[in-house]
Amino acid sequence: MPSFFTDKRVVVTGGAGFLGSVVVAQLREQGCRNIWVPRSQDYDLVQMEAVRRLYDDAAPDLVLHLAARVGGIGANQSNAGRFFYDNLMMGTQLMEVGRQRGLAKFVALATICAYPKHTPVPFREEDLWAGYPEETNAPYGLAKKMMLVQAQAYRQQYGFNAIVLFPVNLYGPGDNFDLQTSHVIPALIRKCVEAQTRGDRQVVLWGDGSPSREFLYVDDAARAILLAAEHYNGDEPVNIGTGKEITIQALAEVIAEEVGFTGELVWDNNKPNGQPRRCLEVSRAKQLFGFEAKEEFREGIRKTVVWYRCHQTEIREVLF
């Protein structure tokens, strides 16, 4: 049976990355025959000339903008200016050229980092503008949030169909395990596996373990994006997540158990914690396009640990 995507020409920015590769695979499963994955060496999407050339070459009906310059707390602190500029320019220019070319639909992936530092939990879309983001990742979060401003302005003035999704932290097989740029789950998995391999008696972790986070398995995130691309055409932001949170300490204990590391978890209080709590209110996604997360958390962690063990010799450091 033909699907919504069967005859669409789809550009997936970031389509060779962690989330993007899963989105591309799911598009293919739904019968999409024309998928264009721009590589950074061919199309530097920070440059307007490259964005125009991409639209010329791909002639898309649908753009799924998943590309981002992103990393953990340390990477955000070290690259605040670059993270702001690169993410702002990619989103702004891709949407502007799409408007100029009469693109049928633009799906933008923002970030939970855009929420204010002290947002009431669970985070509701109505609270996105209720304060300033957590300082360590504010430049990245604000750059991504500008896509919501642009999408709403372009819909109002030009009738341009752009939607913006706000996912929680993703995890799963194929994640970025570079300790300088990775998020918390791959970083914890790598630290525990390497400590176990060396026979270390302890693993040192950032902060005090008290912050909470919500995590979404990558396959669920990809499914949410495609459901929204097919069924949602509104101007309101939409949270994408599970609605369940876990403290970083409890997360570290789960990962240590799945890895088989039996040593001590030591917390370095001189390192920043980041935002105190993150947990989304996710009913809007269910109401508007029928998305609910399916993957059980511990099983998702288990799959991710297995993947890392199989591929750890292939991990390459990411340089900015």
Catalytic positions, written as ranges:
140
- Taking the C-alpha atoms of residue 28 and residue 227, their distance in angstroms, rounded to an integer, is 14
DSSP character for 132?
Answer: P
3-state secondary structure of 194: helix
Place of tokens 């292939």: 314
How remote is the C-alpha of 80 from its chain's centroid? 17
Backbone angles phi, psi at 268, to 5 degrees: -95, 100
Tell me the sheet residues that pair with 109.
Answer: 165
Which of 183, 170, 155 has the alpha carbon at shortest distance from 70? Answer: 183
Provide CB contacts within 8 A for 183, sequence distance 6+.
71, 72, 169, 170, 171, 175, 176
Q: Which residues contact 149 (CB under 8 A, 6 or more apart)?
A: none
Write down the H helix ranges in the chain: 18-29, 48-58, 73-78, 80-100, 138-158, 184-198, 218-231, 248-259, 283-289, 297-311
Half-sphere exposure of 27 (CA within 13 A, CB side): 27
